[in-house]
Copies of this chain bind each other. A is one copy, B any other.
């Protein structure tokens, strides 16, 4: 099916998912929408995140996407079920793939999850994990300092290490913990300091790779893979500055962005 895959995120974090989709599904084309101007979603109440997410989805549905990826953990936690009920196309979130990957690698069955305040308070990860396997000990922790670091493009600064170390302190006492889920699509950019702080005995699970594999599985299972010889160009949209978005995207993705546009979704709902 020669239609694009839609990807939404609160900002640039979902680009870690987009990169894996491009790598694992090179015949497919993407339409990415990052709500940069209202980012971060993490500290916002459920109702607001739901409203914003549905606005993004409406924009993508007009572009005739064949499958929707919610590449934002907070939006997944709050809206996945609602979207699945309301949309006729498949909807894939980032939480279940991350949970599944963690279950497949843990030996000790003690799993850590870090994410935004919204994601952690929603308890979406413990629910997804226990839904699949009841026999798990889960330590979850909100790290609200991490997203701003990444969106400000400061994730490789030396100061980033201190922020990460301070943020992860509460997890360091759990010596049986052998798997840590990065429950926010921004966090893979902080992979190096997170691995360093946690130690090499802890396997870091990034939902981007896992989500891309599940998208591939669902498209294939539903016989919706692109069968034509050529794929359309990927298109990127941001509610924020096109210049900043492009700058970050060109550094994160393995290929330069060819089509990028600034759009307005609904400024009246912007409470900043």
Please report A residues at the B interface, Cβ cutoff 8 Å: 20, 23-27, 90, 92, 96-97, 100-101, 103-104, 131-135, 209, 212-214, 216-218, 220-221, 225
Cross-chain contact B100 with A134 (CB below 8 angstroms): no
The answer to whether residues A212 and B104 also contact, given A217-B96, A218-B217, A220-B96 and a CB cut-off of 8 A, is: yes
Cross-chain contact A133 with B26 (CB below 8 angstroms): yes
* Whole-angstrom CA separation of A133 from B100 in the bound complex: 24
Cross-chain contact B135 with A24 (CB below 8 angstroms): no
Question: What is the copy number of this chain in the assembly?
Answer: 2
Which residues of the other chain, B, contact A131 by a CB distance below 8 angstroms? 220, 225
Minimum distance in angstroms from A186 CB to a CB of chain B = 21
Which residues of the other chain, B, contact A133 by a CB distance below 8 angstroms? 24-27
Could you jot down 27 A-B contacts, CB within 8 Å?
A: A23-B104, A24-B100, A24-B103, A24-B104, A24-B133, A25-B132, A26-B133, A26-B134, A26-B135, A27-B133, A27-B134, A92-B221, A96-B217, A96-B220, A97-B217, A100-B216, A100-B220, A103-B216, A104-B213, A131-B220, A132-B216, A132-B220, A213-B213, A214-B217, A217-B217, A217-B218, A218-B218
Residue of A20, A96, A131, A214 ringed by the most chain B CB atoms within 10 A: A214
Which residues of the other chain, B, contact A221 by a CB distance below 8 angstroms? 90, 92, 218
Chain B: CB-nearest residue to A136: B26
Cross-chain contact A225 with B104 (CB below 8 angstroms): no
**6 tightest A-B contacts by CB?**
A214-B217, A26-B133, A24-B104, A100-B216, A217-B217, A24-B103
* Whole-angstrom CA separation of A103 from B220 in the bound complex: 14
Cross-chain contact A213 with B100 (CB below 8 angstroms): yes
Minimum distance in angstroms from A193 CB to a CB of chain B = 24
Which residues of the other chain, B, contact A225 by a CB distance below 8 angstroms? 131-132
Which residues of the other chain, B, contact A20 by a CB distance below 8 angstroms? 104
* Whole-angstrom CA separation of A209 from B212 in the bound complex: 17
The answer to whether residues A217 and B100 also contact, given A131-B225, A132-B225, A225-B131 and a CB cut-off of 8 A, is: yes
